[in-house]
Amino acid sequence: MSASSAALRFPKDFHWGYATASAQVEGSIDQDGRAPSIWDTFSRLPNKTLDGTDTTVTTDTYVQWRGDIELMKSYGVNSHRLSLSWSRIIPLGGKDDPVNQAGIDWYREYLKALVDAGIVSHLTLFHWDLPQALEDRYKGFLSRDIVADFERYARVCFESFGDLVRDWFTINEPNVFSMMGYLFGSHAPGRTSNREKSAEGDSQREPFLVGHNLLLCHASAVKSYREEFKQKQGGQIGLVVNMLWGEPLDDSAENLTAADEFMAQSSGWFIEPVVFGDYPPSSRKIFEGHLPKFSAEDSALVKGSCDFLGINHYSTFYIKRRTTPAEPGVPWTILHPAVELGIHDKHGNEIGPVGGVNFVRIVPWGFGKLLDWTWKKYQLPIYITENGAVCPNENDIPFPDVLDDHFRIEYLTKYADQVAMAIQRGVPVKSHLMWALTDNFEWQEGHTARFGVTYIDYEDDCKRYPKKSAAVMKEYYRSRIE
Ligand code: NOJ
């Protein structure tokens, strides 16, 4: 931490803490009436996760949640981000399917205990764990039937938890869900044109169709919140988008427009519709024929459907215009046919130290630029809903050495500094929720990518051990919040 870091300040009402998501932590997937989700199914198929782990136990939070609230208290946080498992609340998912009171009771107890602990909940409705029954019924998000089902699920949640929650997040990272689940096929439901991976799927078309239906789900839930709940519950609601920062490799016109295009395709894909009512003009051109069109009515529904923007941010890349034709069939280039991502600047220097997963490098200045750019372009208050890192080789470092997570400490403190500096420049950043409270089930990486500020001993009933970063961030925020 630099000397200037100590002088940085956050406003009194700033929210900070750690995030989790239902499928990644809860486990107990057949307890108290919960039905399977697409991640239960997918993670059990052979070779879908790196270490063969699945969603059955994860961090056992369904059982150990009280201890986690005690942990959070000891970490000094004032906020926590968590998500609801749709198939715990409406096991079969659909608008006419029965509600599972036991699921609602469990979440109410958890949320109430957070209120009692003085910890504000940031609640996500959908963090990728679709009820399997809806995948079976009509292929999930490929069908527009999902919209009415999601809207009813959201309404059940507003009714059931609205007295305990003020900050609602509809959908987590629709861009990553569409891309990983329907283009690469490496996340549930695992669809892709690559027939070695999946018998079904169309990587050119399905991600865009799914994205469109996700936007309609989000907007319908927001409409019902605003019409039926907002006034009496006094909360707010928005979407969470994964945002990388794409730094132009140099200031040539071609690389500047390439970086703009990268931002449009990677996150503008979802943000522009909710702010302006349509997809980015450059995407319309590039994905002509694949990108669904908004009817006038749908555009009006989607436009303006966020009270704030939730941002999950992990890292920055250099962007340049692609000069050689994209190789056919390479999944990434379907989404980015005309740009290239790099990790070296024009002099060949690496952009920043790499962590234990290749999409995380320490590039704090990129985060600062992203915050300024996002505010200028979209003019919405910003909630940082995720931000975090895995230390190099973290999963191979023996216990207890693994608790000394200096790479994460450097990452988190430098990124938090960027938040404070952005606030000073007038960017309305309201929260810094870090990923994650504990190590957890990291999707296709299984348990191998440890993002937590708390170590989980998976061999010993998921026992929790605070890493050093938890104490450092406690002191960081204690000394800087007004
Ligand atoms: C974003 C996702 O929302 C979360 O589920 C995931 O674990 C983190 N990124 C880290 O990859």
pLDDT along the chain (482 residues), means of 10: 83 98 98 98 98 98 98 98 99 99 98 98 99 99 98 98 98 98 98 96 97 99 98 98 98 98 97 98 91 98 98 98 83 89 97 96 98 98 98 98 98 98 98 98 98 98 99 98 96
The answer to whether the CB of 412 is under 6 A from ligand 1 is: no
**Distance (Å) from CA 350 to ligand 1 centroid:** 24
DSSP, residue by residue, 87-123: HHHSTT-STTSPP-HHHHHHHHHHHHHHHHTT-EEEE
- d(CA 300, CA 309) in angstroms, rounded, equals 18
| pLDDT at residue 2, as a whole number | 56
| Distance between Cα 310 and ligand 1 center (Å) | 13
Q: How far is the CA of 289 from the centre of ligand 1 (A)?
A: 30
Cα separation, 472 vs 482, whole angstroms: 18
| φ, ψ dihedrals at 161, nearest 5° | -125, 0
Catalytic residue among 151, 173, 410, 445: 173
Mutation probe of ligand 1 site: the residue of 186, 312, 437 with most atoms within 8 A of C-beta: 312
For the record, the structure tokens of 69 come out as 């609230």
* Ligand 1 near 451 CB (within 6 A): yes
Supply the pLDDT for residue 288: 85
What are the boundaries of each domain within the chain?
3-245+263-313+360-478
Domain 3-245+263-313+360-478 CATH class label: alpha beta
68 lines ligand 1 (CB under 6 A): no
Which atom belonging to ligand 1 lies closest to the Cα atom of 312? Answer: 1
Rg, the chain, Cα only: 21
Of 53, 266, 267, 386, the one to substitute when testing ligand 1's pocket (max ligand atoms within 8 A of C-beta) is: 386
Nearest-atom index, ligand 1, CA of 445 = 11
Determine if ligand 1 sits within 6 Å of the CB of residue 386.
yes
Instruction: Check residue 70 and give its pLDDT.
Output: 98
Q: Is any atom of ligand 1 closer than 6 Å to the C-beta of 389?
A: no
Token pair recorded at residue 380 = 């919405």
Q: How far apart are alpha carbons 208 and 202 in whole angstroms?
A: 10
Decide: 86 in ligand 1 pocket, CB within 6 A. no
CB of 172 sitting under 6 A from ligand 1: yes
What pLDDT score does 330 carry? 77
Task: Indicate if ligand 1 lies below 6 Å from the C-beta of 83.
Answer: no
**Which is catalytic among the residues 386, 394, 410, 442?**
386
How much distance in Å is there from the Cα of 83 to the middle of ligand 1? 12
- Ligand 1 close to Cβ of residue 61 (< 6 A): no
Active site residue 272: no
Amino acid letter for position 338: A
Q: Is the CB of 439 under 6 A from ligand 1?
A: no
Catalytic site residue 173? Answer: yes
CA 97 – CA 91 distance, rounded (Å): 8
CA distance 196 to 219: 36
**Full-model pTM:** 0.98
Q: Is 20 in the pocket of ligand 1 (CB under 6 A)?
A: no
Give the ligand 1 atom nearest the CA of 388: 10
Which of 82, 439, 442, 456 is the best mutation target for the ligand 1 pocket, counting ligand atoms within 8 Å of the beta carbon and taking the most? 442
C-alpha 12/C-alpha 177 separation (Å) is: 34
